[in-house]
Amino acid sequence: MTPAPRGIVRLLNTSAGRVLCLAGEIDAATVDTHLRRYGREPMPVEVVDAGSVTGMSMPALDLVLDHLDAAERAGRSIRVRRSPAAERLLAGADR
């Protein structure tokens, strides 16, 4: 049985565009729940909001980097809001 997710990953439609929102402890189960709901392909987003992240697993980091890479390949820049926990991992990934 898969453990219950401890964080949240959602795609939100806002007046400013689509946002990939992450909050709490983003473990592998949280990422798996997101991928089952939205699919494996990164969605076009205008913002990655990781400002409420308290911890990120490597699958969570991969999810964020996949969205950033997809935006870069499409010639789009996106804003990234980072909590201290997200900042440490993203800085280590040269982002």
**Residues 5-46: pLDDT tens digits?**
579 999 999 998 999 999 999 999 999 999 999 999 999 999
Using CB atoms within 10 Å of the CB of residue 89, give its burial: 0 to 12 exposed, 13 to 18 middle, 19+ buried.
buried
More confident residue, 3 or 34: 34
- Per-residue pLDDT for 47 more than 80? yes
What pLDDT shows up at residue 16?
Answer: 84
- Per-residue pLDDT for 2 more than 70? no
What pLDDT shows up at residue 91?
Answer: 81
Q: Which residues of 25-39 are buried (b: 16+ CB within 10 A; e: fewer)?
A: bbbebbbebbeeeee
Domains detected in the chain:
7-92 (3.30.750.24)
Range 48-65 average pLDDT = 94
The alpha carbon of 81 is separated from its chain's Cα centroid by a whole number of angstroms, namely 10
